[in-house]
Amino acid sequence: MAKISPGQYVREVRQEISKVTWPTRKETVVTTIAVFIMVTLAAIFFLIIDQILAWLVSVILGV
């Protein structure tokens, strides 16, 4: 593997960063809200499943 100078490395990094398509503020906000909604739904789903399983175990074991 060929070694490159620090200056060449910085130039290549800047060149690659300029190719990145950054999301707009609106896209970031919408995606963040979608993530919070999905996390909330997943938490509610697992809470319900946990309660059902706990109830089944208590019925089966007669506790």
Question: Contact 31/23 with Cβ under 8 angstroms?
Answer: yes
User: What pLDDT does residue 63 have?
Assistant: 74
User: What pLDDT does residue 12 have?
Assistant: 93
Q: At residue 1, does pLDDT exceed 90? A: no
Which value, to the nearest 10 degrees, does the dihedral of the CA atoms of residues 52, 58, 59, 62 take? 180
* pLDDT, tens digit, 9 for 90 and up, residues 15-58: 999 999 999 999 999 999 999 999 999 999 999 999 999 999 99
